[in-house]
């Protein structure tokens, strides 16, 4: 026991912070945690969960069209934004309550206040001061809004979850996964959707075949994607919002949404004043054990700007608490992290891109499949699925797997296990297919592309 109020105090009750608090308490530590907004963090409150609920909602009209080919008919359904909004808020409130209950059940004291570091062991909670032996900063990230004239008229993904009225038209600025996902959501829910991206192709950092496939399918669904396009200014008029592009042309829309990246939410916490080293973008610098430049202060999750993924933050929390409170040094493995983009159609990916594989291994063998899913043969949609395997020729190991198509995220989760285990192409080939499924393509591709 120490003279401090807590053995560990966590600033930020998102996925990583809550897991760290719960696990440290299970190891016998006295733990407190603070959160200035809703417990659950970005993923639960204003990210993964509400976003995927919106993706489900936006796909209903397309599913209804497909149903006609299977003998179903009737009135075309109409969309009610207030109903979706209310049901989403109800579900988020339920999850928020569950997270609070988890903390309570694990004897973690929750302070629903903003935490600011006064010194290395003291946290100010809006006038209340507590002390802790160790402090963990897990405050996540926040949308980055660029310095564009009129940017105050634009929204980020945060506000997109709480619109007062459903728009008729939207301009989305950005080419990453958040921009792509919301373009699919708005478009699927009947909004005239334009996506602007300043580079030559969306989804930078993903495999080139994924990027091309997603862009092509989105265009077929009606999203107006304009690449090599940047915004000069935004103006509010009586008729709506007007976006002036750098080439001098203009666009008008009801809503302008920016999805141009996220930055670590580390400002105004007193960290720099304590000498906690940070990168230029505000990310907290940490070592392999999540320790900052101040010996008793640690950090993990999106505010360290490593892999900004909920499961990664949770795994980091498990490693941190095992190391610090269970005398079990646990290194974190960041290789071959599977992930998904809930675009329309969705993306599932694990391992290296083709470009990365060629750079690392030199000679690689590529297998690809492009086909119309069975569902659409009667449903009538011309949406296609793309699958790709990247194999190191020398070892026969599969080093990258990529998919664009229905259920991509669900399929890649299982494939991720095989990649983590070092599976070879021969082992993929020896695996019996499940027919008829899309996933069987991953074990039936025999002929490499030239």
Active site residues: 435
Contact 301, 316 (CB under 8 A): yes
Contact 408, 348 (CB under 8 A): yes
Which residues on adjacent β-strands are paired with residue 155? 257
Residues 330 and 307: their CA atoms lie apart, in Å, by 18
Nearest-CA neighbor of 313 among 8, 95, 17, 36? 17
The gap from C-alpha 217 to its chain's centroid, in whole angstroms, comes to 21
The gap from C-alpha 129 to its chain's centroid, in whole angstroms, comes to 34
Gap between the terminal Cα atoms of the chain? 66
SS3 sequence, the chain? Answer: CCCCCEEEEEECCCHHHHHHHHHHHHCCCCEEEECCCCCCHHHHHHCHHHHHHHHHHHCHHHHHHHHHCCCCCCCCCCCCHHHHHHHHHHHHHHHHHHHHHHHHHCCEEEECCCEEEEECCEEEECCEEEEEEEEEECCCEEECCCCCCCHHHCECHHHHCCCCCCCCEEEEECCCHHHHHHHHHHHHCCCEEEEECCCCCCCCCCCHHHHHHHHHHHHHCCCEEECCCCEEEEEEECCEEEEEECCCCEEEECEEEECCCEEECCCCCCCHHHCCCECCCCCECCCCCCECCCCCEEECHHHHCCCCCHHHHHHHHHHHHHHHHCCCCCCCCCCCCCEEECCCCCEEEEECCHHHHHHHHCCEEEEEEEECCHHHHHHCCCCCEEEEEEEECCCCEEEEEEEECCCHHHHHHHHHHHHHCCCEHHHHHCCCCCCCCCHHHHHCCCCCCC
Residues 189 and 116: their CA atoms lie apart, in Å, by 41
**Residue 382: count of CB within 10 angstroms of its CB:** 9
Which residues on adjacent β-strands are paired with residue 108? 31
């Amino acid at each position: 026991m120490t003279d401090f109020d807590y053995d560990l105090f966590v600033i930020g009750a998102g996925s990583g912070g809550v897991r760290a608090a719960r696990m440290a308490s299970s190891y016998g530590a006295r733990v407190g945690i603070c959160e200035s907004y809703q417990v659950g963090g970005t993923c639960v409150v204003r990210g993964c969960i509400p976003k995927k609920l919106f993706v489900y909602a936006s796909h209903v009209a397309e599913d209804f069209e497909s149903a006609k080919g299977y003998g179903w008919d009737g009135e075309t359904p109409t969309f009610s934004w207030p109903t979706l909004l209310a049901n989403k808020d109800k579900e988020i409130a339920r999850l928020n309550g569950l997270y609070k209950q988890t903390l309570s059940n694990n004897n973690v004291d929750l302070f629903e206040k903003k935490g600011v570091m006064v010194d290395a062991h003291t946290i100010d909670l809006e006038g209340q001061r507590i002390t802790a032996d160790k402090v963990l900063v897990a405050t996540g990230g926040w949308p980055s809004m660029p310095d564009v004239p009129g940017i105050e008229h634009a929204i980020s993904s945060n506000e997109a979850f709480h619109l007062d009225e459903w728009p008729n038209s939207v301009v989305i600025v950005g080419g990453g996964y958040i921009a792509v996902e919301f373009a699919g959501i708005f478009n699927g829910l009947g909004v005239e959707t334009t996506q602007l991206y300043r580079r030559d192709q969306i989804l930078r950092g993903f495999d080139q075949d994924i990027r091309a496939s997603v862009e092509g399918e989105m265009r077929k669904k009606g999203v107006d994607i304009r690449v090599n396009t940047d915004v000069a200014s935004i103006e509010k008029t009586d008729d709506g919002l007007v976006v002036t592009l750098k080439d001098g042309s203009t666009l008008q829309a009801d809503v302008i949404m920016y999805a141009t990246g996220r930055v670590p939410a580390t400002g105004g916490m007193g960290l720099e004043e304590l000498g906690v080293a940070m990168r230029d973008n505000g990310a907290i610098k940490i070592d392999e054990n999540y320790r900052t430049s101040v010996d008793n202060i640690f950090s993990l999750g999106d505010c360290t700007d490593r892999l900004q993924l909920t499961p990664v933050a949770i795994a980091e929390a498990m490693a941190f608490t095992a190391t610090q409170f269970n005398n079990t040094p646990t290194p974190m493995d960041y290789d071959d992290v599977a992930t998904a983009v809930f675009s329309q159609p969705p993306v599932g990916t694990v391992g290296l891109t083709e470009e990365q594989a060629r750079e690392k291994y030199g000679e690689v063998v590529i297998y690809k499949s492009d086909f119309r899913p069975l569902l659409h043969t009667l449903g009538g949609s011309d949406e296609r699925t793309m699958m790709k395997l990247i194999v190191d020729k020398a070892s026969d190991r599969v080093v990258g797997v990529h998919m664009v198509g229905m259920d991509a995220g669900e399929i890649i989760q299982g494939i991720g296990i095989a990649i983590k285990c070092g599976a070879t192409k021969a082992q993929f080939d020896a695996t019996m297919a499940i027919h008829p499924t899309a996933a069987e393509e991953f074990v039936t591709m025999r002929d490499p592309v030239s």
